[in-house]
Amino acid sequence: MAKDVIIACDFASGDETLAFLDRFAGEKPFVKIGMELFYAEGPQIVRSLKARGHRIFLDLKLHDIPNTVKKAMRVLSGLDVDLVNLHAAGTRAMMEAALEGLTRPDGTRPLLIAVTQLTSTDQEALESELLIPRPMEEVVLAYAKNAAAAGLDGVVCSPLEAGRVHESCGAGFLTVTPGVRFAEGDSGDQKRVATPARARELGSDYIVVGRPITRAADPLEAYCRCVKEFLA
């Protein structure tokens, strides 16, 4: 898949999402449907956005026992999404089960990626709350290698870690990176952030951008700026 910008459509309703996307005129951006929108609207929002021609990253971050995740992924395999995810912290057994559940009878499946450490988690929280006394980059790389060993297609990580993930897991192993902010932007709750241009330099395959686009005065202009900086 070619590098691209994914817009995080973190909206409370389908109406709000469709009205937002109507502002993109002829553009059909790659969009991310997260928990808020999916829990509000259910699978129908996936079908609606697909029917409008968008590629879809379904960001539900599954994390449960292997059997439960496998069965949930089987349900999600019936939706025509391009990318789905889970938490690498669920262990290799859970990731392997997820892959099995996601694979359709004809052998096709959406791409499956694993969240390493959330881009809102910093070194201090990693050590004091998650009780992981290792440098963040080392943890992200270990989780990425585990995801690769389980047969997954890539990881969600910070742009700051994308280069090292490619070095360890191969150039074809996808790095999907949230935590993207314009140079003058507010980081909000994100801790491990980079600009779209820096994400490109660091080798991210996809940047996931929410509030810098959804809350911009002119979302189309903000999206085009991301595309220009990231794909330059």
Geometric angle at alpha carbon 73, from 67 and 76, rounded to 5°: 150
Q: Which residues pair with 37 in a beta bridge?
A: none
Q: How far lies 59's CA from each of 19, 32, 141, in Å?
A: 21, 7, 21
Q: Which residues pair with 7 in a beta bridge?
A: 31, 209
Pick the piece of the chain touching ligand C5P (CB under 6 A) from 13-21, 134-142, 204-212, 223-231.
204-212
Closer to ligand C5P by CB, 78 or 183: give it.
183
Residue nearest to ligand C5P (CB): 210
Establish if 140 lies at the interface with ligand C5P (CB under 6 A).
no
Six token digits for residue 11: 């909206």
Q: Which of 3, 50, 61, 145 is catalytic?
A: 61
- Binder among 119, 175, 195, 204 for ligand C5P (CB under 6 A): 119
Told to judge if 61 belongs to the known catalytic residues of this protein, a careful annotator would answer yes
Establish if 114 lies at the interface with ligand C5P (CB under 6 A).
no
Least Å distance, CB 193 to ligand C5P, is 9
Kindly report the backbone phi and psi dihedral angles of residue 8, in degrees, each rounded to the nearest multiple of 5, phi listed first: -80, 105
DSSP-assigned states of every residue in 129-190: TS---S-HHHHHHHHHHHHHHTT--EEE--HHHHHHHHHHH-TTSEEEE--B--TTS--TT-
Establish if 199 lies at the interface with ligand C5P (CB under 6 A).
no
Closer to ligand C5P by CB, 100 or 145: give it.
145
Helix (H) or strand (E) segment spanning residue 99:
helix 92-102
* Lookup result for tokens 């021609």: 53
- Binder among 66, 90, 110, 210 for ligand C5P (CB under 6 A): 210
Pick the piece of the chain touching ligand C5P (CB under 6 A) from 14-22, 196-204, 207-215, 216-224.
207-215
- 159-198 mask for ligand C5P (x: CB under 6 A)? -------------------x---------x-x--------
Establish if 156 lies at the interface with ligand C5P (CB under 6 A).
yes
Residue type, 66: P
Establish if 110 lies at the interface with ligand C5P (CB under 6 A).
no
Q: Residue 123: exposed, middle, or buried by beta-carbon count in 10 A (0-12, 13-18, 19+)?
A: middle
Establish if 8 lies at the interface with ligand C5P (CB under 6 A).
yes
The candidate with the shortest Cα–Cα distance to 20, out of 49, 42, 46, is 49
Establish if 10 lies at the interface with ligand C5P (CB under 6 A).
yes
Q: Which residues of this protein are in contact with ligand C5P, per CB under 6 A?
A: 8, 10, 34, 59, 115, 118-119, 156, 178, 188, 190, 208-212
Catalytic residues: 61
